[in-house]
Structure 1
Amino acid sequence: MTTLDATLPTIVFGDGRLSFDHIVDLAHRRAQAVLRNDQDFVQRIQRGADFIDRILEEDGVIYGVTTGYGDSCTVTIPPALVPDLPRHLYTYHGCGLGQMLSPVETRAVLAARLQSLCQGFSGVSHALLSQLHALLAHDILPLIPSEGSVGASGDLTPLSYVAAALCGERDVLFEGRIMPAGEALAKVGLTPLRLRPKEGLAIMNGTAVMTGLACLALDRANYLAALATRITAMASYALDGNSHHFDETLFAVKPHAGQQLVAARIRADLVSDRPPRNERRLQDRYSIRCAPHVIGVLQDALPWLAQWVDNELNSANDNPIIDAEGERVLHGGHFYGGHIAFAMDSLKQAVANIADLLDRQLALLVDTRFNHGLPSNLSGASADRAAINHGLKALQIGVSAWTAEALKHTMPASVFSRSTECHNQDKVSMGTIAARDCLRVLTLTEQIVAALLLAVRQGIWLRQQQPGAHPLSAPLIPMFEALAHAIPPLTEDRALDRELQQLVDWIQRQIWRLYD
């Protein structure tokens, strides 16, 4: 038994739909998981497992229970060997490589798998759900290699590490150190499971890895959209830009809701009725003037992408589906992660466009041909020291590198289907690769955002020192002051890596509340 933390909200599994933000809260340990154990729920789940037992007693045929897996479905499993088959499934799939999923990512995967199995169509026992819930509740995290899934038949190889951990095999992260799963289970009073006939397939034959990662990606992208909006307002101020580019009537005639929202936020951030000081410059360059059109694409995409991810999260996505009420075994392909693949391919492209937008804004800020009176590379060095100071010159090169890498990762993974497993899996989703790519693009973009935060902090400080500079608008003052408190003005060249890493950490922890 686990003791609930009264300071944290609870998220109940088995009590209806969850959304991606529930998974994100669990992944970051801002909420705690509760599994229903009332009689109605336990009996509903158990009916599926009991139905499978009945079929086995009657010598029925069920894919992956009385047959081999995949192309081996024509191989009949002798009744005496049926109980051993689930262990063989997770054992031979223990061939993952690559970087291990982070603790946050692993919790998201566990939560996504638990929610799917709680739909009641996977033929598993309540004991399996309890053991899976216990991994979450006790923070026993299987070490899951990130590479090795083609996204159909689900996330077989990475999820084999979850199945093995439930059975006390392979390694987990627990209490800050890596240890054998059996040892971690014993520390919290749990015993390893022996999987029932359908349970190995039920755990592994689904989309939990790509879906868990997609939940995290949506949350990070939503925050990035708001940060990019705020940075645009701050860059416009630093560049002495034309605030009228974000006029309400202007955006009323092109009614994309997300684009209008971004423009409204920038308009509120700038809150200025003054004409541009440079009357000859009616139009700022596209990376400022058209920022709502770029960020707005992401802002408009997020709700429908979230709908797709939420639907996948709340689906039974293994094979076969067990209809205990109708007493049918339905063989299909719900393990196919096409919707997640498309969502993540789309999201990474929208996010990479934000990276490119901010890269262009930085290029304006550091270049005396375009920054309207700011010093070269935003250096704040005194006149007698200016010759040897280079300001943000190298930072702009770094941002260019991160942007290029982000753009490189936008090739859609879903179009690279590979026929696998003796052409049984002859069309696969590549959803997990798409999700991993999306997270990489997000990380690179967060690094770019950190650089822009540093740059706009410097640019605003420099602008405010100029004669006749207008005051910073009230909505921008708290964020500027927070940046100014953490980052001294750049009056002499210094290494910026630690400050950038601190900003990346703040971004990933979402410390600023930007817009209500």
Structure 2
Amino acid sequence: MNDRISLKQAAIPVFGADALTIEDVCRIARGASARLHDSPDYRAHIERGAAFIERLLASEGEIYGVTTGYGDSCSVGVAQQLARELPIHLMRFHGCGLGNHFTPEQTRAVLAARLASLVRGYSGVRWVLLERIAALLNHDLPPLMPAEGSVGASGDLTPLSYLAAVLMGEREVWKDGQPEASAVALAAAGIEPITLAPKEALAIMNGTAAMTGLACLAFERAEYLSRLATRISAMTSIATRGNPGHFDPALFGVKPHAGQNEVADWIWTDLGRLHDGPQMRLQDRYSIRCAPHVIGVLRDALPWMRRDIENELNSSNDNPIIDAVGERVLHGGHFYGGHIAFAMDALKNAVASIADLLDRQLALLVDTRYNHGLPKNLSGAEGLRGAINHGFKAVQIGTSSWTAEALKLTMPASSFSRSTECHNQDKVSMGTIAARDCLRVVELTEQVTAALLLAVTQGVTLRSRQGELDEATLTAPLRGFRDDIAKLSAFVTEDRPLEPDLRQILVHIRARRWELYS
């Protein structure tokens, strides 16, 4: 993980005392420590729920998932002498996930989201359980958690069962990027496994932590992409000798979408003195002229997405809810991930639209019919050697492929509810699938962005070498950004494999190395 020391020292809210933000979860995902609010009053608040469960058990009270079976089996009573075995069975029979495992970073985000819910004190868990989840984060031992197997209602049961199992010393964890038996890894870290109390497996598993943790990561990456796409669009306008008037504040003053206006203002500022130069044409093609209108959709959607993701993050989202003060067990459906599902379906749609925008910009840049005087395929080769050099021809093909895959994934997962578990879970959110799809769309769009960053830097440099761009007219932020890209990927004169350059740019994108617009 990058910058682990600085991340551990970063100001992370205290679990149980402060609400978490998306950025807090992302910092924890990348290695920051987790700290619990450990005042006596707060510990008593947590323990009160667990103690209430124990009193109900002693008085033979009926509690879903504690003295009954799960889901459709809620009408099946569980004998008192077997109630303490029930959470172990829940954890074990859900150990059936498949597909790729979540990455260590993704799993840390999931653990942060689960801890954020449990520390609210309405799940009937003990203080020691919170300590153990925090210990997994602080010793960097996230469970090996399969990504596939959740329908996102009755919670992320199957993926989160792997957290419950690891707390008991079963299954595997990530250690230094490699799988290791949890019992071995916990022993080496001095973490003692626990036996889950009657409500604790259900409290861990019956919630929205997997989809919410992934949603935090997707949101942060998408927000950064919106800024990169804006900077790239300004550079594409320069490389194609576009009309800066398309971004004039007076033009956008008559259509008051805040995010759209924000993007237009950023581009207008990037273009700087080019506003006053001669214009080649009245109107550019839509992928340049309408860049604020495309990117602005995402910018305008981010605030309500943040609201819903952070509300979910800071909620009690398991079932039943334990009201220890009022001494009530409240049965409901807070495990339903509808808000996250809708946010992720919308986010992947808006991000894929940006991939499509950038793909179209690259198509203009490499085509001599539309790039207004740049060499074919942006090749830097001259003379006879121009015939055998093909510049960014294959990069444009690859970009088209990544864009097509991103667009294909925009089908809303939340529309594919399936009745499961003997029709007990007869309407489900599919929030975890939506979040996984969204992360894949973000990943593909980052690849498109990396490709266009290389191409548009080549295009701007070609304009300068052809004497059609006065370097003095470039704003300092844009010139500095162009120079940073040029340091990572040299000007393409003779054909060379560009995969290493693309991967290097991707590292910088995913680490958010460039400060873009304050």
1:438-477 maps to which residues of 2 (within 5 A)?
Answer: 438-471=438-471, 472-477=474-479
Aligned partner of 2:388 in structure 1 is 388
- 2:342 is equivalent to residue 342 of structure 1: yes
One-letter amino acid matched to 2:21 = S
Secondary structure of 1:146's match?
Answer: strand
Aligned partner of 1:510 in structure 2 is 512
Alpha-carbon shift at residue 10 of structure 1 (Å): 3.6
Alpha-carbon contact 1:268-1:475 (below 8 Å) kept: no
Distance 1:101 1:5 in 2: 21
Correspondent of 1:18 among 17, 20, 28 = 20
Aligned partner of 2:122 in structure 1 is 121
Alpha-carbon shift at residue 173 of structure 1 (Å): 1.2
Where does the alignment leave 5 or more consecutive residues of structure 1 unmatched?
A: none
Alpha-carbon shift at residue 388 of structure 1 (Å): 1.0
Alpha-carbon contact 2:395-2:451 (below 8 Å) kept: yes
The size of the alignment, in residue pairs, is: 512
1:109-258 maps to which residues of 2 (within 5 A)?
Answer: 109-258=110-259
Alpha-carbon shift at residue 298 of structure 1 (Å): 0.3
Alpha-carbon shift at residue 514 of structure 1 (Å): 1.0
Aligned partner of 1:399 in structure 2 is 399
1:226-375 maps to which residues of 2 (within 5 A)?
Answer: 226-272=227-273, 274-275=275-276, 277-279=278-280, 281-375=281-375
Distance 2:231 2:44 in 1: 51
Q: 1:105 to 1:468 in 2, by over 3 A?
A: closer
Deviations 1:230-275 (A, max 9, x none): 0001111111111111101111110000001000100110013545
Alpha-carbon contact 1:240-1:277 (below 8 Å) kept: no
Alpha-carbon contact 1:242-1:276 (below 8 Å) kept: no
Secondary structure of 1:35's match?
Answer: coil
Distance 1:408 1:7 in 2: 41
Aligned partner of 2:43 in structure 1 is 42
One-letter amino acid matched to 1:402 = W
Across the aligned residues of Structure 1 and Structure 2, the Cα RMSD in angstroms comes to 1.3
Deviations 1:182-221 (A, max 9, x none): 1111112121110110000000000000000000000000
Q: Which range is displaced more, 122-131 or 472-481?
A: 472-481
Aligned partner of 2:435 in structure 1 is 435
Deviations 1:151-197 (A, max 9, x none): 01100000000000011000111244321111111112121110110
Q: 1:63 to 1:371 in 2, by over 3 A?
A: same
Secondary structure of 1:34's match?
Answer: coil
Distance 1:176 1:436 in 2: 21
One-letter amino acid matched to 1:26 = I
One-letter amino acid matched to 1:68 = G
Q: TM-score, normalised by structure 1?
A: 0.97
Percent of pairs with identical residues: 62
Aligned partner of 2:103 in structure 1 is 102
Alpha-carbon shift at residue 431 of structure 1 (Å): 0.1
Alpha-carbon shift at residue 474 of structure 1 (Å): 2.0
Deviations 1:266-315 (A, max 9, x none): 01100135456454x11111100100000000001011101000000000
Aligned partner of 1:485 in structure 2 is 487
- 2:497 is equivalent to residue 495 of structure 1: yes
Alpha-carbon contact 2:488-2:504 (below 8 Å) kept: no
Deviations 1:120-165 (A, max 9, x none): 1000011111111111111111000000000011000000000000
Alpha-carbon shift at residue 382 of structure 1 (Å): 1.0
Q: Which range is displaced more, 202-211 or 459-468?
A: 459-468
One-letter amino acid matched to 1:203 = I
Alpha-carbon shift at residue 105 of structure 1 (Å): 0.2
Q: Which range is displaced more, 170-179 or 195-204?
A: 170-179
Distance 2:97 2:354 in 1: 33
Alpha-carbon contact 1:245-1:289 (below 8 Å) kept: yes
Q: Which range is displaced more, 461-470 or 196-205?
A: 461-470
Q: Which range is displaced more, 73-82 or 264-273?
A: 264-273
Alpha-carbon contact 1:243-1:272 (below 8 Å) kept: no
1:51-130 maps to which residues of 2 (within 5 A)?
Answer: 51-130=52-131
Aligned partner of 2:415 in structure 1 is 415
Alpha-carbon contact 1:4-1:32 (below 8 Å) kept: no
Deviations 1:392-420 (A, max 9, x none): 11111100000000000000000100000
Distance 1:468 1:139 in 2: 53
Alpha-carbon contact 2:368-2:376 (below 8 Å) kept: yes
Alpha-carbon contact 1:337-1:431 (below 8 Å) kept: yes
Distance 2:465 2:70 in 1: 71
Distance 1:468 1:154 in 2: 59
Q: Which runs of 4+ in 1 moved over 6 A?
A: 3-6
Alpha-carbon contact 2:13-2:19 (below 8 Å) kept: no
Alpha-carbon shift at residue 22 of structure 1 (Å): 0.5
Alpha-carbon contact 1:242-1:275 (below 8 Å) kept: no
Distance 2:196 2:468 in 1: 74
Q: 1:274 to 1:228 in 2, by over 3 A?
A: closer
Distance 1:288 1:203 in 2: 48
Q: 1:5 to 1:97 in 2, by over 3 A?
A: closer
Alpha-carbon shift at residue 421 of structure 1 (Å): 0.3
Alpha-carbon contact 1:214-1:435 (below 8 Å) kept: yes
Alpha-carbon shift at residue 374 of structure 1 (Å): 0.3
One-letter amino acid matched to 1:145 = P
Q: Which range is displaced more, 181-190 or 159-168?
A: 181-190
Q: 1:5 to 1:150 in 2, by over 3 A?
A: closer
Distance 2:226 2:414 in 1: 24
